[in-house]
Amino acid sequence: MEQEEIGPRLGGITTLLSEQELIAFVKNPNHAIEAGNARAVSLSKRYKMIMPPFDFLKDDEIRSILAYIASETKLHNIAPLEVKTDTAAVARLAQPVIKSGLRIELEDFVTIPASSDKMPRTRIANMRPHPSNDGSLYISDQRGIIYKIRDRQVSTFLDLRPDLADFVNEPGLGTGLGSFVFHPEYLNNGLIYITHTEAPKGKPADYSYNDSIEVAVQWVVSEWKMDDVTSPAFKGSRRELLRINVPSTVHGTQDIGFNPDAAKGEKDYGMLYIGTGDGGSTIGKHPELCHSMQSLLGTIIRIDPLGNNSKNGRYGIPADNPFVNADAGVYKEIYAYGFRNPHRLAWHKGTLLSTEVGESNFEEVNVIVKGGDYGWNVREGNYAISSKDLKNVYPVPETDAGSFEKPYLQYDHIDGNAISGGYVYEGPIAALKDKYIFGDIVKGRIFYANVDRGLTDHSIYELLITQDGRETDLVKMSGSKRVDVRIEYNRFTKEMYLMTKSDGKVRRVRNAFTINQH
C-alpha cells in the first residue's frame, strides 16, 4: 500500500480512478498503455515492466481487492502516487537481442495435472532425469509435488505436504518447493535434496537477523532418503540440513545442483551448490542484509551434504571453499556472492552458469568464479545502482575501484522482464549445437547465445518457434500473457524441453532449422 516494490504503491489509487477504470486495467494493463494513457505510459517507463493481465478474475473478485485498497487508503490516509508525465522514449542500456533466422519446432510431450483451480493451473519449475538413465523424468510443482513421467504417463512420486506441517506455497512467485536434485550416488544411497518454504513458527535458523525485521518465510534445504531406489513412489526419511530466515516471499532459495561434469575422486564431486537470492531485502529497505559474506542472502553456497563440520553439524564445508579461512562471522559455505536472485544453475564442461533475475533494467547470465562478487545491490548489469533508487542505473564512477564480476550475457528490460535459465545444447540437432538456450519467464521469448571456448561472444539472439508447420509463440500456445516458461534439458538423452505453468504443458524440442533473413 505505501511502499514501492516491483511496481508502484497501490494506496490512494481508488481515490484517483473509478472502479470501472481500475477493473479494466487489472484485466488488460497493456490496453491502457497502448491507448496512450499518460499515467500508465509513464509508470511503465519507470518500472520497465507491465503487470500481466488478470483477465481470469471475475469482476466481483476485483471489486473485493479494490474495496480492500480503498479501506486501507482511508484508514492510513494514503495519498495517491504522484506521477510525472514522461513522453520521452525509453533509453536502451544493453545491446538489443538480435533477430535470427533460427527456429525450433516443438511437439507436445506431456501435460502435468492441475494443482489449483485458479491460474496458474500448475507451478511446474524443475525437471530432472532419473540418475539411472532409464528414460523417466521427474518434474516439480512449487505447490509441493514431484511427479514421475515414464512413457509419457504421469504419476506422483513425492507429495511433500503431508510431511511438512508448516509448508507454504503462497503467495506465488518465490515460495513453495523451490528445487530438487538427485545425489550423484543416488543409485547407491537413495538421497534427494529439496528446498522449500515454511511459515516462520519460531524454528531456529542457521541464518537469522535482528528481530526488528520481519521474517516472512524460512527457506529450508533438506535431504530425503529413499528406502528403496527401485520404488515408483517415495518411501523413506527426511533430515534438515539448513534453514534461512527471509524478510519477504521473493528471491529465495530457487535452485540447487551438483556439478555433473565432476568425476568421482575430484574435489567438486558430490558438492552441493545452493543459490539463494537477497530475499527481497533490498526492495524491502534492508539492503544491509545482503551483499555481505556475513549473510547467506544473495549467495551461491557450496557444501558437502554428507559432511558434518558446519556450525550445525548437519553438513560439511569443503576445504577448498574460497572463504574457508576467513575471519569469524564470515559464512565459510559461500562460494560466490552479490546476487539479487540466482534463479537457475547450469554447468557446461565444468563451468557454472547462473541466471540473475534483475530489478528494473537488466537480466543477466553470469559465469560463476570461486570467491566472485557479482555486485548486487550496488551493481546491475555493467552499471552502478543505489539501494535508495533501484529503478535507475548510472555509469560506474572512474574512482570506484570495486572489483566485481561482469555479466557474461545481459539483455535490457525493453526485451524482457525476468530471465529463465537454460542449458548448453549438446544433442543431435546440428542447428542448436553449442548454443546456450534460455528465455524470458514473463514474455516467453526464447533466446540463445553461441558458446565458444573462451565464452567471448556476448551477443544474444532470439529463437523463434514453430508447431505443426506454423510459426507461433508461447503466449499463443499457453493461452496466457504471462507465460512462466522454464527451459529443461536431459543430459543423458540430450533432449530439450520447454515447460509453461499456466497450462501445465511440457513441450519437447523436436527439430531446429534456419530461414535466411533478407
Q: With bands split at pLDDT 50, 70 and 90, how would you rate the model's confidence at 239?
A: very high
Q: Give me the residues paired with residue 462 across strands.
A: 99, 447
The one-letter code for the residue type at 118 is: K
Q: Average pLDDT, stretch 80-91? A: 79
Interhelix angle 19-27/59-76, rounded to 10 degrees, is 120
What CA–CA distance (Å, rounded) separates 244 from 315?
Answer: 15
Q: Is the pLDDT of residue 322 over 90?
A: yes
Residue 304 confidence (pLDDT): 98
Q: Does position 351 have pLDDT exceeding 60, yes or no?
A: yes
H-helix or E-strand spanning residue 70: helix 59-76
Percent of the chain clearing pLDDT 90 (strictly above) = 81
CA distance 124 to 112: 8
* Helical (H) or strand (E) element with 448: strand 446-450
Mean pLDDT for the chain overall: 93
Query: Which of 130, 241, 231, 136 lies closest to 195 in space, CA to CA?
Result: 241
The pLDDT assigned to 140 comes to 98
Nearest to residue 2, comparing CAs of 85, 84, 81? 81
* pLDDT for position 19: 93
Q: In the 8-state DSSP scheme, what is residue 161?
A: G
* Cα distance between residue 120 and residue 480, in whole Å: 9
Q: Is the pLDDT of residue 269 over 70?
A: yes
β-pairing, 299-303 vs 419-425, is unpaired
Which element (helix H / strand E) includes 46? helix 38-47
Q: What is the pTM (predicted TM-score) of this model?
A: 0.92
Strands in 298-394 per DSSP E? 299-303, 334-337, 342-348, 351-356, 362-367, 379-380, 383-386, 389-394
Cell for 231? 520404488
Distance, CA of 176 to CA of 172 (rounded, Å): 8
Enumerate helices (H) and strands (E) in the chain, giving the number of each: 7, 28
Q: Residue 380, CB half-sphere, CA atoms under 13 Å: how many?
A: 25
Ranges 36-50, 194-208, 396-410: which has the least confidence: 36-50
CB proximity list for 239: less than 8 A, separation 6 or greater = 222, 223, 225, 314
What local confidence, expressed as pLDDT, does residue 316 receive?
98
The per-residue pLDDT for 518 is 46
Residue 302 pLDDT: 98
Average pLDDT over residues 174-188: 97
Q: Which residue has the cell 473509478?
A: 18
Mean pLDDT, to the nearest integer, of 315-343?
A: 97
pLDDT tens across 89-144, in order? 778 899 999 999 999 999 999 999 999 988 889 999 999 999 999 999 999 999 99
Please give the pLDDT value at position 208: 96
Contact between residue 253 and residue 221 where contact means Cβ atoms under 8 Å apart: yes
Going by the DSSP 8-state scheme, the letter that residue 502 receives in this structure is T
CATH topology (fold) of 98-514:
Neuraminidase (2.120.10)
Task: Note every long-range contact of 454-457, with CB atoms under 8 Å and residues 24 or more positions apart, other chains counting.
Answer: 455/351, 455/367, 455/408
CA–CA separation, 274 vs 253, rounded Å? 7
- For 25-29, 50-54, 197-201, 365-369, which range has the lowest pLDDT when averaged over its residues? 50-54
Calpha distance 240→206 (Å, rounded): 11
The position carrying cell 487508503 is 73
Pair 437, 463: CB distance under 8 Å: yes
Torsion 311-313-315-317 (CA) sign: positive
Res. 509 pLDDT band, cuts 50 70 90: very high
pLDDT digits (tens, 9 = 90+) for 452-499: 999 999 999 999 999 988 999 999 999 888 899 999 999 999 999 999
